[in-house]
Protein backbone atom coordinates (compact mmCIF):
# COMPACT_ATOMS: atom_id res chain seq x y z
CA UNK A 1 0.00 0.00 0.00
CA UNK A 2 1.20 3.58 -0.63
CA UNK A 3 2.78 5.07 2.47
CA UNK A 4 2.65 8.61 3.81
CA UNK A 5 3.96 11.52 1.74
CA UNK A 6 7.37 12.83 2.86
CA UNK A 7 7.93 16.53 3.54
CA UNK A 8 9.52 17.55 0.21
CA UNK A 9 10.19 21.24 -0.45
CA UNK A 10 12.84 20.99 -3.16
CA UNK A 11 12.80 19.52 -6.67
CA UNK A 12 10.10 16.90 -7.20
CA UNK A 13 10.04 14.23 -9.92
CA UNK A 14 7.56 11.47 -10.70
CA UNK A 15 8.47 8.10 -12.20
CA UNK A 16 5.87 5.74 -13.69
CA UNK A 17 7.52 2.42 -14.67
CA UNK A 18 5.45 -0.16 -16.54
CA UNK A 19 6.42 -3.77 -15.85
CA UNK A 20 5.28 -6.76 -17.90
CA UNK A 21 3.69 -8.58 -14.94
CA UNK A 22 0.10 -8.13 -13.86
CA UNK A 23 -0.89 -11.49 -12.37
CA UNK A 24 1.60 -12.57 -9.71
CA UNK A 25 0.46 -10.57 -6.68
CA UNK A 26 3.42 -11.61 -4.56
CA UNK A 27 5.88 -10.40 -7.21
CA UNK A 28 3.97 -7.14 -7.72
CA UNK A 29 4.13 -6.57 -3.97
CA UNK A 30 7.89 -7.26 -3.99
CA UNK A 31 8.41 -4.68 -6.71
CA UNK A 32 6.30 -2.17 -4.80
CA UNK A 33 8.34 -2.87 -1.66
CA UNK A 34 11.57 -2.26 -3.58
CA UNK A 35 10.31 1.21 -4.51
CA UNK A 36 9.02 1.99 -1.02
CA UNK A 37 12.33 0.98 0.54
CA UNK A 38 14.11 3.88 -1.18
CA UNK A 39 14.53 6.73 1.29
CA UNK A 40 12.65 9.91 0.37
CA UNK A 41 10.35 8.26 -2.18
CA UNK A 42 6.58 7.90 -1.92
CA UNK A 43 4.78 5.17 -3.80
CA UNK A 44 1.45 6.79 -4.63
CA UNK A 45 -0.24 4.15 -6.79
CA UNK A 46 0.12 0.61 -8.12
CA UNK A 47 -2.20 -0.44 -10.94
CA UNK A 48 -2.07 -4.10 -12.00
CA UNK A 49 -4.13 -5.65 -14.79
CA UNK A 50 -4.18 -9.42 -15.44
CA UNK A 51 -5.38 -9.17 -19.05
CA UNK A 52 -2.84 -6.52 -19.98
CA UNK A 53 -0.40 -8.61 -17.87
CA UNK A 54 1.14 -5.34 -16.81
CA UNK A 55 1.64 -3.28 -13.66
CA UNK A 56 2.15 0.47 -13.48
CA UNK A 57 3.96 1.92 -10.46
CA UNK A 58 3.66 5.65 -9.71
CA UNK A 59 6.10 7.21 -7.26
CA UNK A 60 7.59 10.62 -6.56
CA UNK A 61 10.33 12.32 -4.61
CA UNK A 62 13.55 14.25 -4.99
CA UNK A 63 15.48 13.37 -8.18
CA UNK A 64 18.24 11.34 -6.48
CA UNK A 65 15.71 9.37 -4.44
CA UNK A 66 13.56 8.64 -7.48
CA UNK A 67 16.65 7.52 -9.40
CA UNK A 68 17.53 5.06 -6.61
CA UNK A 69 13.96 3.73 -6.49
CA UNK A 70 13.81 3.22 -10.26
CA UNK A 71 17.04 1.23 -10.21
CA UNK A 72 15.77 -0.82 -7.26
CA UNK A 73 12.61 -1.66 -9.16
CA UNK A 74 14.68 -2.62 -12.19
CA UNK A 75 16.74 -4.97 -10.02
CA UNK A 76 13.62 -6.85 -8.95
CA UNK A 77 11.75 -6.79 -12.26
CA UNK A 78 14.61 -7.81 -14.53
CA UNK A 79 15.51 -10.75 -12.32
CA UNK A 80 11.95 -12.05 -11.88
CA UNK A 81 10.07 -11.36 -15.13
CA UNK A 82 10.65 -13.68 -18.08
CA UNK A 83 9.13 -12.54 -21.36
CA UNK A 84 9.47 -16.01 -22.85
CA UNK A 85 6.45 -16.94 -20.72
CA UNK A 86 4.57 -13.66 -21.06
CA UNK A 87 1.23 -13.40 -22.84
CA UNK A 88 -0.82 -10.23 -22.46
CA UNK A 89 -2.96 -7.85 -24.49
CA UNK A 90 -0.83 -4.73 -23.96
CA UNK A 91 2.02 -4.05 -26.42
CA UNK A 92 5.43 -4.51 -24.81
CA UNK A 93 9.08 -4.74 -25.77
CA UNK A 94 10.61 -5.57 -22.40
CA UNK A 95 10.17 -7.08 -18.96
CA UNK A 96 10.80 -3.61 -17.56
CA UNK A 97 8.99 -2.09 -20.50
CA UNK A 98 8.93 1.69 -20.08
CA UNK A 99 10.40 3.98 -17.43
CA UNK A 100 9.21 7.58 -17.87
CA UNK A 101 10.28 10.49 -15.65
CA UNK A 102 8.17 13.63 -15.23
CA UNK A 103 9.20 17.01 -13.73
CA UNK A 104 6.65 18.09 -11.12
CA UNK A 105 8.13 20.99 -9.14
CA UNK A 106 11.31 23.11 -9.09
CA UNK A 107 13.12 20.99 -11.67
CA UNK A 108 13.90 21.64 -15.33
CA UNK A 109 13.16 19.16 -18.08
CA UNK A 110 16.87 19.16 -18.96
CA UNK A 111 17.61 17.83 -15.47
CA UNK A 112 14.99 15.13 -15.86
CA UNK A 113 16.49 14.14 -19.22
CA UNK A 114 19.86 13.75 -17.51
CA UNK A 115 18.19 11.69 -14.77
CA UNK A 116 16.50 9.42 -17.32
CA UNK A 117 19.76 8.81 -19.13
CA UNK A 118 21.59 8.00 -15.89
CA UNK A 119 18.94 5.44 -15.02
CA UNK A 120 19.01 4.00 -18.54
CA UNK A 121 22.77 3.69 -18.40
CA UNK A 122 22.56 2.06 -14.99
CA UNK A 123 20.03 -0.50 -16.24
CA UNK A 124 22.12 -1.25 -19.32
CA UNK A 125 25.36 -1.61 -17.37
CA UNK A 126 23.90 -3.64 -14.49
CA UNK A 127 21.59 -5.94 -16.45
CA UNK A 128 23.04 -6.00 -19.95
CA UNK A 129 19.76 -5.15 -21.70
CA UNK A 130 19.32 -2.79 -24.66
CA UNK A 131 17.99 0.62 -23.60
CA UNK A 132 16.29 3.09 -25.94
CA UNK A 133 15.52 6.69 -24.93
CA UNK A 134 12.27 8.40 -25.91
CA UNK A 135 10.35 11.62 -25.36
CA UNK A 136 12.52 14.55 -24.31
CA UNK A 137 15.33 12.08 -23.56
CA UNK A 138 15.40 10.80 -27.16
CA UNK A 139 18.75 10.97 -28.94
CA UNK A 140 17.16 11.32 -32.37
CA UNK A 141 13.92 12.75 -33.73
CA UNK A 142 12.62 9.37 -34.92
CA UNK A 143 12.62 8.09 -31.34
CA UNK A 144 10.62 10.82 -29.65
CA UNK A 145 7.22 9.09 -29.81
CA UNK A 146 6.84 6.04 -27.60
CA UNK A 147 4.92 3.99 -30.24
CA UNK A 148 7.76 4.61 -32.71
CA UNK A 149 10.41 3.51 -30.22
CA UNK A 150 8.44 0.41 -29.23
CA UNK A 151 7.99 -0.44 -32.91
CA UNK A 152 6.58 -3.92 -33.43
CA UNK A 153 7.46 -4.86 -29.89
CA UNK A 154 9.16 -7.82 -28.30
CA UNK A 155 8.32 -10.26 -31.09
CA UNK A 156 10.26 -8.17 -33.62
CA UNK A 157 13.09 -7.08 -31.31
CA UNK A 158 15.62 -9.71 -32.39
CA UNK A 159 15.08 -8.80 -36.04
CA UNK A 160 15.28 -5.11 -35.23
CA UNK A 161 18.61 -5.44 -33.43
CA UNK A 162 20.02 -7.67 -36.15
CA UNK A 163 19.02 -5.06 -38.74
CA UNK A 164 21.18 -2.45 -37.04
CA UNK A 165 18.63 -0.47 -35.02
CA UNK A 166 21.13 -0.16 -32.18
CA UNK A 167 20.02 0.89 -28.70
CA UNK A 168 21.20 4.11 -27.08
CA UNK A 169 22.77 2.19 -24.20
CA UNK A 170 23.53 -1.45 -23.56
CA UNK A 171 24.35 -4.25 -26.00
CA UNK A 172 22.76 -4.56 -29.43
CA UNK A 173 21.99 -8.14 -28.50
CA UNK A 174 18.61 -9.84 -28.11
CA UNK A 175 17.89 -11.00 -24.58
CA UNK A 176 14.92 -13.34 -24.84
CA UNK A 177 14.20 -13.10 -21.13
CA UNK A 178 14.33 -9.32 -20.62
CA UNK A 179 13.81 -7.81 -24.07
CA UNK A 180 14.62 -4.09 -24.08
CA UNK A 181 13.79 -1.17 -21.80
CA UNK A 182 12.51 2.20 -23.00
CA UNK A 183 13.46 5.10 -20.74
CA UNK A 184 11.97 8.54 -21.25
CA UNK A 185 11.40 12.06 -19.98
CA UNK A 186 8.07 13.73 -20.63
CA UNK A 187 5.37 15.99 -19.30
CA UNK A 188 2.34 14.68 -17.40
CA UNK A 189 0.03 12.41 -19.36
CA UNK A 190 -3.16 10.68 -18.27
CA UNK A 191 -3.72 6.97 -18.89
CA UNK A 192 -7.47 6.47 -19.11
CA UNK A 193 -9.44 3.45 -20.32
CA UNK A 194 -13.10 2.97 -21.18
CA UNK A 195 -14.62 -0.50 -20.76
CA UNK A 196 -17.31 -1.53 -23.24
CA UNK A 197 -20.13 -3.99 -22.56
CA UNK A 198 -19.14 -6.04 -25.58
CA UNK A 199 -16.63 -8.73 -26.50
CA UNK A 200 -16.44 -7.43 -30.08
CA UNK A 201 -12.73 -6.63 -30.44
CA UNK A 202 -13.22 -5.26 -33.95
CA UNK A 203 -15.69 -2.69 -32.64
CA UNK A 204 -13.31 -1.62 -29.86
CA UNK A 205 -10.49 -1.24 -32.37
CA UNK A 206 -12.73 0.78 -34.70
CA UNK A 207 -13.71 3.11 -31.86
CA UNK A 208 -10.05 3.52 -30.92
CA UNK A 209 -9.27 4.55 -34.50
CA UNK A 210 -11.89 7.28 -34.40
CA UNK A 211 -10.46 8.63 -31.13
CA UNK A 212 -6.71 8.63 -31.77
CA UNK A 213 -5.06 11.75 -33.15
CA UNK A 214 -3.01 9.91 -35.77
CA UNK A 215 -6.25 8.85 -37.50
CA UNK A 216 -7.84 12.30 -37.33
CA UNK A 217 -9.38 11.98 -33.87
CA UNK A 218 -8.84 13.93 -30.70
CA UNK A 219 -5.69 16.06 -30.23
CA UNK A 220 -2.92 14.40 -28.27
CA UNK A 221 -4.72 11.08 -27.87
CA UNK A 222 -3.22 7.65 -28.45
CA UNK A 223 -5.75 4.80 -28.36
CA UNK A 224 -5.93 1.03 -28.79
CA UNK A 225 -8.83 -1.40 -28.72
CA UNK A 226 -8.20 -4.43 -26.50
CA UNK A 227 -10.03 -7.49 -25.21
CA UNK A 228 -10.18 -8.15 -21.47
CA UNK A 229 -10.76 -11.87 -21.81
CA UNK A 230 -11.00 -12.69 -18.11
CA UNK A 231 -13.83 -10.17 -17.75
CA UNK A 232 -15.65 -10.80 -21.02
CA UNK A 233 -15.47 -7.19 -22.21
CA UNK A 234 -13.41 -4.99 -24.48
CA UNK A 235 -11.67 -1.74 -23.75
CA UNK A 236 -10.53 1.44 -25.44
CA UNK A 237 -7.17 2.11 -23.81
CA UNK A 238 -5.97 5.71 -24.14
CA UNK A 239 -3.02 7.93 -23.34
CA UNK A 240 -4.03 11.60 -23.14
CA UNK A 241 -0.72 13.28 -23.91
CA UNK A 242 -2.00 16.79 -23.17
CA UNK A 243 -5.09 16.92 -20.98
CA UNK A 244 -5.38 20.67 -21.57
CA UNK A 245 -6.19 19.97 -25.21
CA UNK A 246 -8.18 16.80 -24.61
CA UNK A 247 -9.29 16.35 -21.00
CA UNK A 248 -10.71 13.09 -19.67
CA UNK A 249 -14.39 14.07 -20.21
CA UNK A 250 -13.79 14.85 -23.90
CA UNK A 251 -12.17 11.44 -24.44
CA UNK A 252 -14.84 9.60 -22.45
CA UNK A 253 -17.71 11.34 -24.23
CA UNK A 254 -16.23 10.64 -27.65
CA UNK A 255 -15.79 6.94 -26.89
CA UNK A 256 -19.33 6.75 -25.51
CA UNK A 257 -20.75 8.43 -28.60
CA UNK A 258 -18.87 6.12 -30.95
CA UNK A 259 -19.92 3.10 -28.90
CA UNK A 260 -23.58 4.22 -28.97
CA UNK A 261 -23.41 4.45 -32.76
CA UNK A 262 -22.56 0.74 -32.70
CA UNK A 263 -25.25 0.01 -30.09
CA UNK A 264 -22.64 -0.75 -27.44
CA UNK A 265 -22.95 0.47 -23.88
CA UNK A 266 -20.07 1.86 -21.85
CA UNK A 267 -19.54 -0.12 -18.65
CA UNK A 268 -17.05 2.10 -16.80
CA UNK A 269 -14.02 4.33 -16.99
CA UNK A 270 -10.66 3.36 -15.55
CA UNK A 271 -7.79 5.57 -14.49
CA UNK A 272 -4.32 3.99 -14.62
CA UNK A 273 -2.21 5.68 -11.97
CA UNK A 274 -3.14 9.23 -10.97
CA UNK A 275 -4.34 12.33 -12.82
CA UNK A 276 -4.19 16.07 -12.17
CA UNK A 277 -7.44 17.68 -11.09
CA UNK A 278 -7.36 19.86 -14.21
CA UNK A 279 -7.69 16.74 -16.38
CA UNK A 280 -11.34 16.49 -15.33
CA UNK A 281 -12.13 19.96 -16.73
CA UNK A 282 -14.55 20.68 -13.90
CA UNK A 283 -16.53 17.46 -14.31
CA UNK A 284 -17.12 14.98 -11.50
CA UNK A 285 -15.15 11.71 -11.79
CA UNK A 286 -18.44 9.81 -11.68
CA UNK A 287 -19.46 11.50 -14.94
CA UNK A 288 -16.62 9.68 -16.73
CA UNK A 289 -17.40 6.28 -15.29
CA UNK A 290 -15.11 6.44 -12.23
CA UNK A 291 -17.68 5.42 -9.63
CA UNK A 292 -15.03 4.32 -7.11
CA UNK A 293 -12.83 7.41 -7.44
CA UNK A 294 -11.02 8.58 -4.29
CA UNK A 295 -8.90 11.72 -3.65
CA UNK A 296 -5.66 9.72 -3.60
CA UNK A 297 -6.11 9.27 -7.37
CA UNK A 298 -5.55 13.01 -7.84
CA UNK A 299 -1.93 13.98 -8.42
CA UNK A 300 -2.74 17.30 -6.74
CA UNK A 301 -3.40 15.51 -3.44
CA UNK A 302 0.16 14.21 -3.38
CA UNK A 303 1.76 17.39 -4.70
CA UNK A 304 0.05 19.50 -2.05
CA UNK A 305 1.22 17.16 0.68
CA UNK A 306 4.75 16.83 -0.70
CA UNK A 307 5.34 20.55 -1.10
CA UNK A 308 3.59 21.74 2.09
Which is the catalytic residue, given 47, 52, 86, 90? 90
Which residues are CB-neighbours of 8 under 8 A, at least 6 positions away? 40, 60, 61, 62, 306, 307
Contacts of residue 271, defined as CB under 8 A and 6 or more positions apart, other chains included, come to 190, 191, 192, 290, 293, 297
- Is residue 53 within 8 A of residue 22, CB to CB? The reply is yes
Catalytic residue status for 127 = no
3-state DSSP call for residue 279?
helix
Other Cβ atoms within 10 Å of 66 Cβ, number: 27
C-alpha 104: how far from chain center: 16
Terminal-to-terminal C-alpha distance of the chain: 22
The neighbour count for residue 1, using CB atoms within 10 Å, is: 7
Q: Are 133 and 183 in contact (CB under 8 A)?
A: yes
Buried b (16+ CB within 10 A) or exposed e, 181-207: bbbbbbebbbbbbbbbebebeebbbbb
DSSP character at residue 6: P
Burial class for 19, CB neighbours closer than 10 Å (0-12, 13-18, 19+)? buried
Catalytic center residues: 90
Amino acid sequence: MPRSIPDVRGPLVECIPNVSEGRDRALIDRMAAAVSAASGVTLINVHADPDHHRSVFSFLGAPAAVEAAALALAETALVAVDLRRHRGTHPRVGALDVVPFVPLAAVAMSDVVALARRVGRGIADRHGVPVYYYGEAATRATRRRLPDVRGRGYDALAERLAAGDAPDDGPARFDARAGATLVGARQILVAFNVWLESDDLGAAQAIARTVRESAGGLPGVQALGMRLASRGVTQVSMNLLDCRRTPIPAAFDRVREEAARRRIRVQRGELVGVAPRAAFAGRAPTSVGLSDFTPDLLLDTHLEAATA
